[in-house]
Amino acid sequence: RAKKRGRDRYEFFTQALQAEIVETKKLADDILRGMENHEFEAFYQPQFDARSRDIVGVEALVRWRHPTLGLLAPDRFMRVAEELNVVTAIDRLVLEQGLRDHAAWREAGLVIPKLSVNVSARRLHDEELIAQLGGMDIAPGVVAFELVESIFLDEEDEVAMANIEAIKRLGIDIEIDDFGTGYASIVSLMKLQPARLKIDRQFIAPILDSTRQRKLVRSIVDIGASLGIGIVAEGVETMDHAKALQRMGCDVLQGYAFARPMTAETLAGFARGQQWRVAPAARSGEHPK
Ligand code: C2E
Ligand code: MG
Ligand code: MG
Ligand code: MG
């Protein structure tokens, strides 16, 4: 009996595993088809000055306009895209669309100071990255690359380090994304001299309920202040969070409390509306409480 049960279980697992492999293979084929069909698109989530509440930038976030499944967020396809190595193509596509949209906004009289894009580990290790970037029309100081901490676990990682230096020379900022969730040492992160740290939303959510969590955020803000690194809070879901984060000294706020990721066109309309909503006092540097 025990033997039979063991065998049943074994068959259950192999079947489940097989089903998963089939699903993954289907998704992989679908991603490649979708790429050829231009179904991937950049959405934009605005980022706000914590005090004036002016829009200081946007983060480009990829979406998949799937013909039958509708609009898909990265959690539905990024893992497989990474396995397939399609993630480098996605990163490139998002940057290229971002630059096009950014130029179009400017043509239309809308100045968005910063365009942030997420850069995968694979892309950071791409030997062609720098040559590619050199061929793009990137004005210095406009673009930021968001890199997650796990990219920097290996301090001997010479390709990544050389690319980062070259990226900076092109006038592109480096930001550490999801700060606090990885295991890279503070020392190795600070060696990069990032322009900004983005505190992960898991540290932001509990700040209203916990003194400890507030102290944690405040100590990150202190690190930023003493090293001249800007602090961005991501996942700011309520205006109470926004107020608390402003008081704690965060520079930039991003989250559902202000806006969700949206299409390029919607972003343009949103930013216009936002500009005339900004109080004159806030513009001249007096910060409303
Ligand atoms: P991320 O770079 O940390 O981006 C922030 C994520 O948090 C986005 O999810 C955004 O929609 C979501 N978010 C923003 N505000 C809030 C909030 O107030 N509450 C909550 N709960 N969530 C909020 P999204 O767009 O689903 O992207 C998920 C992740 O996928 C990104 O995390 C990033 O790691 C990755 N990703 C997205 N686009 C790209 C891309 O073009 N290239 C690469 N390599 N990765 C990307
Ligand atoms: Mg990001
Ligand atoms: Mg993040
Ligand atoms: Mg994240």
Does 178 contact ligand 1 (Cβ within 6 A)? yes
Q: For residue 270, what pLDDT is reported?
A: 93
Side-chain-facing half-sphere of 240: CA atoms under 13 Å: 5
Does 45 contact ligand 1 (Cβ within 6 A)? yes
**Which of helix, strand or coil describes residue 126?**
coil
**pLDDT single digits (tens) 157-209:** 788 889 999 999 999 999 999 998 988 888 888 888 899 999 999 999 999 99
Region class of 234: left (phi > 0), else alpha (psi between -120 and 50), else beta: beta
Expressed in angstroms and rounded, the spacing between residue 15 Cα and the centre of ligand 3 is 36
Does 234 contact ligand 1 (Cβ within 6 A)? yes
**pLDDT single digits (tens) 219-229:** 999 999 999 99
Distances (CA, A) of 79 to 82, 85, 110: 5, 10, 35
Q: C-alpha dihedral over 175, 177, 183, 184, to 10 degrees?
A: -10
Expressed in angstroms and rounded, the spacing between residue 2 Cα and the centre of ligand 2 is 50
Region class of 273: left (phi > 0), else alpha (psi between -120 and 50), else beta: alpha
Stretches where the chain sits below pLDDT 70 are 1-2, 155, 274-289
153-157: Cβ within 8 A, 24+ apart: 153/182, 153/183, 153/184, 155/188
Q: Please give the backbone phi and psi of residue 52, each rounded to the nearest 5 degrees, phi first.
A: -80, -20
The ipTM estimated for the assembled molecules is 0.98
Q: Which ligand 1 atom sits nearest the alpha carbon of residue 178?
A: 3
Expressed in angstroms and rounded, the spacing between residue 2 Cα and the centre of ligand 4 is 45
